[in-house]
Structure 1
Amino acid sequence: MDDQNKNLILATALSFIVIMVWFVMFPPPETQSVDPNAPAVVATDTAITPSVDTSGEKSATSTAEVTEATAPEAPRLEIDTPSLKGTLSLQGGRIDDLSLKNYRETLDPGSDIVHLLKPVGSDAPYYALFGWAPGAGLNAEQVPNANTIWQVEAGEKLTPDTPVTLKWDNGAGQVFKRQISVDADFMFEISQTVENSGTSSVSMAPYGILARHGMPADLKNFFILHEGGIRMIDGELTESDYEDFEPASALKEIAVEADGWTGFTDHFWMATLIPQNESGAKISTFHDARRDIYQTNSKLRTETLAPGETATVHTRLFAGAKEWDTIRSYQNQANVEGFLDSIDWGWFFFLTKPIFWLLHNLNALIGNMGWSIIALTLIIKAALLPLAFKSYVSMAKMKELQPRMEELKAAAGDDRQQLQKSMMELYKKEKVNPASGCLPILLQIPIFFSLYKVIFVTLELRHAPWIGWIKDLSAPDPSSLYNLWGALPWGTPEPGSILALIFIGILPLLLGISMWLQQKLNPAPTDPTQQMIFAWMPWVFMFMLGSFASGLVVYWIANNTITFTQQYLIMRSQGYKPDVFGNIVSSFKRKPKPKPDDK
Structure 2
Amino acid sequence: MDDQNKNLILATVLSFVVITAWMILFPPAEPQQIDPSAPAATGQMTASDVATVMPPMTDAAGAATADTTADVSAEQAEAGRIDVDTPALSGTISLLGGRFDDLKLKSYRQTQEAGSDIVTLLRPTGSAHAYYALYGWVPGGQTGSEDVPGPKTLWQVESGTTLTPDSPVTLAWSNGKGLTFRRMIAVDEKYLFTVTQSVENTGATSHRMAPYGVLARHGEPDDLKGFFILHEGVVRQVDKELEEMDYGDAADLDFDQRENARADVMQVEENGWIGFTDHYWMTTLIPAPGQAFTSAVRYAENADVYQTQVRLPAMDVAAGETKSVETQLFAGAKEWETIREYQNENGIYRFLDSIDWGWFFFLTKPIFAVLHWLNGLIGNMGWSIIGLTLIIKAVLLPLAYKSYVSMAKMKELQPEMEKIKEKAGEDKAKLQQEMMALYKTEKVNPASGCLPILLQIPIFFSLYKVIFVTLELRHAPWIGWIRDLSAPDPSSILNLFGLLPNAAPSPESFLAIISLGILPIILGISMWLQQKLNPAPTDATQAMIFAWMPWVFMFMLGQFASGLVLYWIANNTITFTQQYLIMRSHGHRPDVLGNVLKSFKRKPKDSE
Shorter chain as denominator, the TM-score bin is over 0.9
CA distance in 2 between counterparts of 1:253 and 1:582 reads 68
Deviations 1:234-283 (A, max 9, x none): 12111111111134435443222111111000010000001223544211
CA distance in 1 between counterparts of 2:64 and 2:588 reads 80
Code of the aligned partner of 1:134: P
Deviations 1:496-555 (A, max 9, x none): 322110121111101100000010001111211111011101000110111111111011
TM-score of the superposed pair, with normalisation by structure 2: 0.93
CA contact (8 A) 1:193 1:313 kept: yes
CA contact (8 A) 2:105 2:332 kept: yes
1:551 to 554, 563, 566: 563
Match of 1:134 in 2: 139
SS at match of 1:493: coil
1:180 corresponds to 2:200? no
SS at match of 2:411: helix
In structure 2, list runs of 5 or more residues that go unmatched.
40-45
CA contact (8 A) 1:408 1:422 kept: yes
CA contact (8 A) 1:390 1:436 kept: yes
Code of the aligned partner of 1:7: N
Match of 1:75 in 2: 80
Percent of matched pairs sharing the same residue: 61
Match of 2:594 in 1: 582
Code of the aligned partner of 1:392: Y
1:64 corresponds to 2:68? yes
Match of 2:18 in 1: 20
1:254 corresponds to 2:266? yes
Match of 2:459 in 1: 447
Code of the aligned partner of 1:416: K
CA distance in 2 between counterparts of 1:328 and 1:265 reads 16
1:96 to 101, 107, 117: 101
1:106 to 102, 105, 111: 111
Code of the aligned partner of 1:282: T
Match of 2:47 in 1: 43
The more displaced of 20-29 and 395-404 is 20-29
The more displaced of 206-215 and 396-405 is 396-405
CA distance in 2 between counterparts of 1:252 and 1:410 reads 69
Deviations 1:119-162 (A, max 9, x none): 00111100000111111232111111111111111111011111
Match of 1:220 in 2: 225
Deviations 1:428-478 (A, max 9, x none): 222221111111111111111111111111111111111111111111111
CA distance in 1 between counterparts of 2:445 and 2:454 reads 16
Rate the CA distance shift 1:353–1:46 in 2: closer, same or farther, 3 A.
same
CA contact (8 A) 2:420 2:435 kept: yes
SS at match of 1:46: helix
Match of 2:174 in 1: 169
Match of 2:237 in 1: 232
In structure 1, list runs of 5 or more residues that go unmatched.
none
Deviations 1:63-104 (A, max 9, x none): 425222453521111111000000110000011000000011
CA contact (8 A) 1:69 1:147 kept: no
Deviations 1:373-397 (A, max 9, x none): 1111111111111111111111111
Match of 1:500 in 2: 512
CA distance in 2 between counterparts of 1:250 and 1:242 reads 12
Code of the aligned partner of 1:67: D
CA distance in 2 between counterparts of 1:262 and 1:280 reads 13
1:253-292 equivalences in 2 (<5 Å): 253-292=265-304
2:156 to 147, 151, 160: 151
TM-score of the superposed pair, with normalisation by structure 1: 0.94
CA distance in 1 between counterparts of 2:596 and 2:4 reads 21
CA distance in 2 between counterparts of 1:40 and 1:361 reads 48
Rate the CA distance shift 1:126–1:60 in 2: closer, same or farther, 3 A.
same
Match of 2:475 in 1: 463
Rate the CA distance shift 1:148–1:40 in 2: closer, same or farther, 3 A.
farther
Code of the aligned partner of 1:230: V
Code of the aligned partner of 1:592: P
Match of 2:369 in 1: 357
Code of the aligned partner of 2:534: N
SS at match of 1:450: helix
Rate the CA distance shift 1:459–1:545 in 2: closer, same or farther, 3 A.
same
CA contact (8 A) 1:74 1:89 kept: yes
2:412 to 400, 410, 431: 400
CA contact (8 A) 1:98 1:116 kept: yes
Code of the aligned partner of 1:577: R
CA distance in 2 between counterparts of 1:394 and 1:473 reads 37
> What is the CA distance between 1:488 and its match in structure 2?
1.7
CA distance in 2 between counterparts of 1:360 and 1:462 reads 13
CA contact (8 A) 2:464 2:564 kept: yes
Match of 1:478 in 2: 490
2:530 to 518, 525, 548: 518
CA contact (8 A) 1:65 1:147 kept: no
SS at match of 1:469: coil
Aligned length in residues: 591
SS at match of 2:14: helix
CA distance in 1 between counterparts of 2:539 and 2:557 reads 27
CA distance in 2 between counterparts of 1:587 and 1:111 reads 50
CA distance in 2 between counterparts of 1:450 and 1:386 reads 21
Rate the CA distance shift 1:584–1:278 in 2: closer, same or farther, 3 A.
closer
Deviations 1:332-354 (A, max 9, x none): 00011010010001111111111
Match of 2:42 in 1: none
